[in-house]
Amino acid sequence: MSDDIFARLKEDHESHRKILDQMAETSGESDERKELLEQFTKEVKSHAAAEEQALYSTMLRKPPTTDMTRHSVAEHHELNELLNDLAAQDMSSSAWMASFKKLDHDYRHHINEEEEDHFPEFEPYLTEEDRQHMRSVFDRRKAEEKDEAKVTPEKMEDAKE
């Protein structure tokens, strides 16, 4: 694992892309689909929480990056709702695959935007102290968050009430 916070985050993103690719190859209510959804959910929820606590809490203190930071955190919330909605659906239905494709598209858009736009924009605002702090917080918090992360089925329409 890299010592650079951005390289570390990209390592996770690459792992998430691979899980999405594997999920896209599954069908029906199979054990493989269930296991991959659980793995992806725990990975993404713990990654996002740790990323917010390490990277985005730091970037919120740097006014030029506040809007990008808020945008990414809002997308984390939306992706969490999509994950919950996907978990609440019948895995053998065509609606599940449609929801999966939306999640897949939105998640890839989010991580590509982080990697291509946000991370390079953040670079000039970070001190070496910021970088060391973010890396230690990210790894520690991700491990703690992963222990707590759960698949939480909740249909999107129920979440809005």
C-alpha of 111 from chain center: 8
| pLDDT value at residue 160 | 53
**Which of 94, 84, 73, 81 has its CA nearest to residue 28?**
94
Q: What is the pLDDT of residue 88?
A: 94
Q: Walk along the chain (161 residues) in steps of 10 and give the mean pLDDT of each run.
A: 87 98 95 96 96 96 95 96 94 94 98 97 95 92 90 75 51
**Sequence spans of domains, the chain:** 5-148
**Farthest-apart Cα atoms in the chain, separation:** 49
Contacts of 139 (CB under 8 A, 6+ apart): 1, 8, 50
Is residue 127 helix, strand or coil? Answer: coil
Nearest to 42 by CA among 157, 110, 144: 144
* Token duo for residue 98: 């449609």
Is 29 within 8 Å of 92 (Cβ atoms)? Answer: yes
* pLDDT of the residue at 3: 79
**Token pair for residue 160?**
């809005």
Q: Phi/psi at 23 (nearest 5 deg)? A: -60, -40
The helix/strand/coil state of 82 is: helix
What is the distance between the alpha carbons of residues 132 and 73, in angstroms, rounded to a whole number?
21
Q: What confidence score (pLDDT) does residue 6 get?
A: 95
Tokens of 35: 């296991």
